[in-house]
Amino acid sequence: MVCLLRISPILPFAVTSYVLGFTELSTADYILGTLASLPALLGYVFIGTLTQNGFSQTDTGSIFYIKIAISLVAIVGTLFLIRNISQLFKKYIESI
């Protein structure tokens, strides 16, 4: 869940860290989830660098495919996150 929260482009990194601090998540799980999300986060940094250097110039060539791949990882991660949170919410509702 930590990794999915981290790679989701919808949730800001600081807000995610703050909310995770209120959970019963162990420090080891927090660190492992954060480390697992580093490739996607590095991709976001790469996209930011491309933006600074003129993102419009990357619409052709191999950089275009990298941009698409990183976007797909973010979308799939967000979909998994939504699915997992809805399952957790359903279990919580059933336990009440």
Q: Structure pTM?
A: 0.49
pLDDT for position 59: 56
pLDDT value for 74: 80
Number of H helices, E strands in the chain: 5, 0
In the chain, what is the straight-line distance between the N-terminal and C-terminal CA atoms, in Å? 23
Taking CA atoms, 24 is separated from 15, 19, 20, 30, 78, in Å, by 17, 11, 8, 10, 22
The DSSP 8-state label assigned to residue 57 in this structure reads G
Residues lower than pLDDT 50 in the chain: none
| CA–CA distance, 66 with 32 (Å, rounded to integer) | 25
- Hey, is 8 helix, strand or coil? coil
